[in-house]
Amino acid sequence: MKIAEELDIPYIPRAKNSLQKLKEIYELDYLLVVEQNQVILKGKEVLFWHPSMAVPRLKALREGKNDPMLEAMKLKPGYHVLDCTLGLGSDALVSAYGVGSEGHVTGLESSKYIAFITRWGLENFNGQNTHVKALLSRITVINQRYEEYLKNQPDDRYEVVYFDPMFRKALHNSPSMNALRPLANHHPLEQGSIHEALRVAKFRVVVKEMAGGLEFLRLSPDYVVGGKYSPIAYGVWEKNE
């Protein structure tokens, strides 16, 4: 019931009904279910928190390999990062590795459901991956649109500001992304938000985009990292250093 109160949604006792039966009775598209110490959003697809693609990326970093996102962000130990489009936090986990134990990542998520599921997952992860566990406390989740948050921040508040806008076309047909996509913010990134992010960033702003996509033509970053052998590229706006 505490979760229902926090999210301002009805609490429905399950009794002996199936989840499908409850959706039919109450004419719901989604049910938020707590089972086995996990919060799961069940609609046509199932959404729950997991470290996802962060796991192989973190493994590669520990093996001394490069990560294009970290190359673009140029993170150093002790940096504070603002991730404006947190989602399930896969990129934030990699950023948390990049900033080290003295750094921190603040993640903004406009969907209250995605924000709650991600925060719950970060706070209650009980997997065996000790490398992931070490990073969880370095991430703070805030349920707010980045446009609102940025305008209320002082100049140079974060060393790096990061955006991963929802791609127009899904890069992979993955169940987690299929479940997240209907709830995510599909509004395109505007020049005004880049301008505000540059004010709030001490060093640089980084935007993730599909390699060969048209967003960088519209937004005009200073330069682009990656994309030659990868489906992902990162636009970078430098400030000063």
Backbone angles phi, psi at 97, to 5 degrees: -65, -40
Give per-residue pLDDT as tens, 176-226.
566 566 566 667 899 999 999 999 999 999 999 988 778 899 999 999 998
As given in the structure block, the two tokens for residue 104 are 């921190």
How confident is residue 169, by pLDDT bands cut at 50, 70 and 90? low
Q: Alpha-carbon distance 113 to 100, whole Å?
A: 28
Which pLDDT belongs to residue 108? 98
DSSP characters over 148-183:
HHHHTSPTT-EEEEEE-PPPSS-SS--HHHHHHGGG
Residue 109 host element (H or E): none
Domain positions in the chain are: 2-35, 50-238
Q: What is the mean predicted confidence (pLDDT) over 88-92?
A: 95
Angle of helix 54-62 versus helix 90-99 axis, rounded to 10: 20
Give per-residue pLDDT as tens, 17-53.
888 888 888 888 888 888 777 888 888 888 888 898 8
Q: Cβ(125)–Cβ(89) under 8 Å?
A: no
Give per-residue pLDDT as tens, 148-161.
999 999 999 999 99
Which pLDDT belongs to residue 90? 94
- The candidate with the shortest Cα–Cα distance to 189, out of 208, 210, 211, 170, is 208
pTM of model > 0.85: yes
For residue 126, is pLDDT > 70? yes
Q: Alpha-carbon distance 97 to 56, whole Å?
A: 13
DSSP characters over 124-147:
H---S-HHHHHHHTTEEEE-S-HH
- The candidate with the shortest Cα–Cα distance to 162, out of 240, 61, 94, 112, is 94
Q: Alpha-carbon distance 172 to 151, whole Å?
A: 33
How confident is residue 114, by pLDDT bands cut at 50, 70 and 90? very high
What CATH class is the domain 50-238?
alpha beta
- CA–CA distances in Å: residue 125 to residues 35, 108, 136: 14, 20, 8
Which pLDDT belongs to residue 172? 53
Which pLDDT belongs to residue 118? 94
How confident is residue 16, by pLDDT bands cut at 50, 70 and 90? confident
Which pLDDT belongs to residue 21? 87
